[in-house]
Amino acid sequence: MSYRYRGRIRRFARMLLWLGVGLLPGLALAIPEGPTYPSAAWTAREAQNYANVLKAPTEQVSDPTFVLRLTTQSTLNLGT
């Protein structure tokens, strides 16, 4: 590889580094939304979030067809 190309690659890498240094802190800023942390409203919102997250596993466990398929696939994956 000639010196000219190595120089271009280094300049490009340096440009990407500075671009990343300049953009990443701006992307990481969080925008607070919803109720503040130590409050009853925050606790109620978190309880609702957990209830939503647990809907699918609860539904899957209550479906015998899903449980049978999951058990069959797990057994095949383990090779027993």
What percent of the chain is helix, strand and coil (3-state, nearest 5)? Answer: 75, 0, 25
Residues 23-76 pLDDT 10s = 566 555 667 788 888 899 999 999 999 999 989 888 888 999 999 999 999 999
Whats the size of the chain, residue-wise?
80
pLDDT at position 20 is 62
pLDDT at position 25 is 61
pLDDT at position 56 is 87
